[in-house]
Chain A
């Protein structure tokens, strides 16, 4: 049975706790992602932003708490139900993750061939439409190894939206992009969100770019949500940690140094490792 929940939040996270080994990654966090909006999840490297994506998509299971995606608790779903729910969401990987043995055209056609019984003509039309929307119709016969970094990500985006998912998760979409590539991707995320009526979740640490398109921001640090709200609200936040992150200051509540013994003692400690 396909339960459709039309409430305002497409994702509701309550009391999420997650450990990797002995390390606490998330400590009892709550989060709401509103339908139809662009929500950005930001935070310093190593705060588990990508881990959060993997939790939302059910690739890993939380140690405590619930993650409701479109009214279904993702961490208790059976294998087959999980795959059914995943068809409603798309995820754009940092590396693009295109299938290296297929052309761009075949990559975009792949989800259509797997999940629909469309004829070749229909698939061709759909693939060309998706490729046109990311500007790569002319690159359809190229192999992933022949694409630049930005083109790879756009081709992957075309594949992600091939089945018209209700929600797209972007994992660090701007990492390693030149200014033009970054501008193109920003424009695409915004355009797709409004034109296709998507919900977009962008995980990133490129503050200004992400803040320019996001409706809502979450700032994560040390396993907690330290700030949430519209970008303009967070820019003027009183919270020192949020302010440090939004303004990109090198030192502050989020320390520059990885926790260590006293520097002086360490230097005088001789050969002790």
Chain B
């Protein structure tokens, strides 16, 4: 009994200390005056790695999700003779929910895991320590550009995902299933509000960007520099980010759209 209590207490303490370390980590990485001349090239390189290289998976997924939603929506709505509402259904579900959430999940799998593995391997090969010994703070040199790149890239990817998804939806509904394109687009425009739908969706996406990138970079920074350690940290990044995104999505949705 005592042993069990001790184990619970220890894991609680460990968890608290990880939270504390990650807080200190992000504060050290992001506080202070950035050096634009030296920092900008590093940031651009990371934006390319996490943003531009994630484009293919985001575009293809967005296209298919938009197409599938349109197809499913049509097959139900057509029974009630209201297939023109497909446009608003596709746009609302994408902009409010699917866009931010699916993009964040894909981003965690594609970019988050590679951030963790890359930093982990730099740690295992003593590159992080050698930066410290050369008098260069790795938090500012390695971690900060990656964190910022994630914060910037994910909301932009979400926008692209939404646009491609809506285009995919229109492709199926209008060009294939023959929904009248005037009512498809008009319904969509009438139902989608910039403030409640688009802005709220982007706020979600900014929150997810923060959480996913923080988890990914911190896991890389905090891992045990062995093969198993890197493997475990990469898995943790994907699992924790996905859970955090889904949990946070519920909370944010309740705050934004909940009526209480």
Q: A residues bordering B, Cβ < 8 Å?
A: 57, 59, 79, 83-84, 86-87, 89-91, 93-95, 97-100, 110-111, 114-115, 156, 159, 163
Contact = CB atoms under 8 A, between A and B. Distances in A.
Contacts of A98: 127
B247 to A, nearest CB: 34
B135 A91 contact: no
Q: Enumerate the 4 nearest inter-chain pairs by beta-carbon distance, A residue then B residue, closest first.
A: A97-B130, A97-B126, A87-B135, A91-B133
Interface of B: 28, 38, 125-127, 129-130, 132-137
Contacts of B133: 57, 86, 89-91
A22 B28 CA distance: 30
21 contacts: A59-B132, A79-B28, A79-B137, A83-B132, A86-B132, A86-B133, A87-B134, A87-B135, A91-B133, A93-B126, A93-B130, A94-B126, A95-B126, A97-B126, A97-B129, A98-B127, A99-B127, A100-B127, A111-B136, A114-B38, A114-B134
Contacts of B135: 83-84, 86-87, 111, 114-115, 163
Contacts of B38: 114
A83 B137 contact: yes
A29 B125 CA distance: 30
Dominant secondary structure of chain A at its interface with chain B: mixed
Most chain A beta carbons < 10 A, residue from B28, B130, B133: B133
Contacts of B28: 79
A115 B38 CA distance: 11
A123 B125 CA distance: 26
A59 B134 CA distance: 12
Nearest to B124: A95
Contacts of A83: 132, 135-137
B28 to A, nearest CB: 8
A110 B133 CA distance: 12
Contact of B134 (A84, A100, A111): A111
Contacts of A93: 126, 129-130
Nearest to B133: A91
A151 to B, nearest CB: 16
Contacts of A99: 127
Contacts of B130: 91, 93, 97, 156
Nearest to B136: A114
Contacts of A89: 133
A94 B126 CA distance: 9
A156 B125 CA distance: 13
A83 B38 CA distance: 18
B190 to A, nearest CB: 51
Given A59-B129, A91-B130, A98-B127, 17 more contacts: A57-B132, A57-B133, A79-B137, A83-B132, A83-B137, A86-B132, A90-B133, A91-B133, A93-B130, A94-B126, A95-B125, A97-B129, A100-B125, A100-B127, A111-B136, A114-B134, A114-B136
Contacts of A156: 130
Contacts of B126: 93-95, 97
B176 to A, nearest CB: 46
Nearest to B130: A97
Contacts of B132: 57, 59, 83, 86
A89 B130 CA distance: 12
A163 B133 CA distance: 12
Contacts of B134: 86-87, 110-111, 114, 159, 163
Contacts of B136: 83, 111, 114
Nearest to B121: A100
A91 B132 CA distance: 10
B26 to A, nearest CB: 15
A110 B125 CA distance: 17
